[in-house]
Structure 1
Amino acid sequence: MVEDRDHREGEIRLGFDPADRANAGVTFVGFIRSDWSRGKSPRNITQGREAGGGNARIELAPDYLPGLQGLDVGQPIWVIYWMDRGERDLIVQYPRHSPEPRGVFALRSPVRPNPIAMAAVIITSIDNDAGIIGIDTTDAFDRTPVLDIKPWIAGIDVPPSG
């Protein structure tokens, strides 16, 4: 059970726990390891970099080690992770940086129906035998489950200018 935080005026909760309505299965391919914990973590990747990166790395489960083939040090990747310690039933939030409440889909908050996050990071080291990928930073708590890793590709992952 997630520890409930204080809620602000204007916030709206769902009338159900989204976890009870799960209609797809996922598997964790590994875990993010970091120096971060509740109350002692950056609020986003930029703050993570400013704080020195948090000794960030991904430890893959042994069955997924062959998936490292083709990754290189210096390469940007997307890490998709499951914020397993976040609330899931708050649909409108009142962030401190906003003058008014905002819907969860307009925010990068970890409090969301499906606690999925993604971050573009740089590979700093790879140990193929141990399945450890060093990354330049994270904003995730230690032992946050990893759902997937994908290469960041400039021609695909940058929105068109217009």
Structure 2
Amino acid sequence: MGDTLRPGEQTLAFDPGARADASVCFIGHIRSPWGPDTETPKNIGKARATGQDARIELADGFGDGLLGLKVGQPLIVTYWMHLGRRDLIVQAPRHADGPCGTFALRSPRRPNPMAMSTVLITSLDQGAGVIGIDAIDAFDRTPVVDIKPWLGTVDLPPNR
């Protein structure tokens, strides 16, 4: 699927995209300063450190789904990393001592290129279907799959 493998990496013998079991309706797109030709932050923490804001622009018809959200509220945004490689099952990240299984990593290279980040709402325009967010580590125009409120009573692991 294009990229050169690092030592220790393994690919699947099939294309996971060819085994689609369901369809996904993208509800909008992320707007960010990042792109394939820019130095994109490797995670949401590093994206926040840049001071770059971003936004989510919902597709027509989805703006009413923002009713009840408020500026300052945390959200969980799931998005489809459409440019990510899908066939790596063992990866050799530069930050690890050795190869790791894809499911042990937050890499964009995965069978289903889903990502999620917890962000803060910085502005909200329900009529236009636009949510300003504090940061994101996704390329401009990355498709958004879903948005959910982050709830401390639900989203914290037990005993944390």
Q: TM-score range by the shorter chain?
A: over 0.9
Map 1:22-37 to 2 at 5 A.
Answer: 22-37=20-35
Match of 2:71 among 62, 70, 73: 73
Measure, in 1, the Cα distance between the counterparts of 2:78 and 2:86: 17
| 1:113 CA displacement | 0.1
Structure 1 residues not aligned, in runs of 5+: none
Measure, in 1, the Cα distance between the counterparts of 2:44 and 2:58: 21
The two structures have a TM-score, normalised by structure 1, of 0.95
1:96 corresponding residue in structure 2: 94
Matched to 1:52, the amino acid is G
Match of 2:116 among 113, 118, 127: 118
Checking the alignment, whether the CA contact within 8 Å between 2:64 and 2:127 is kept in structure 1 is no
Query: Deviations along 1:9-52, whole A, 9 cap, x unmatched?
Result: 11000011100000111100000000001242100000000011
2:49 corresponding residue in structure 1: 50
Matched to 1:75, the amino acid is Q
1:105 corresponding residue in structure 2: 103
**How many pairs were matched up?**
159
Alignment pair present for 1:13 and 2:11 = yes
Matched to 2:6, the amino acid is R
Identity percentage over the alignment? 57
Query: Deviations along 1:91-125, whole A, 9 cap, x unmatched?
Result: 00000011110000000000000000000000000
The two structures have a TM-score, normalised by structure 2, of 0.96
Measure, in 2, the Cα distance between the counterparts of 1:64 and 1:31: 12
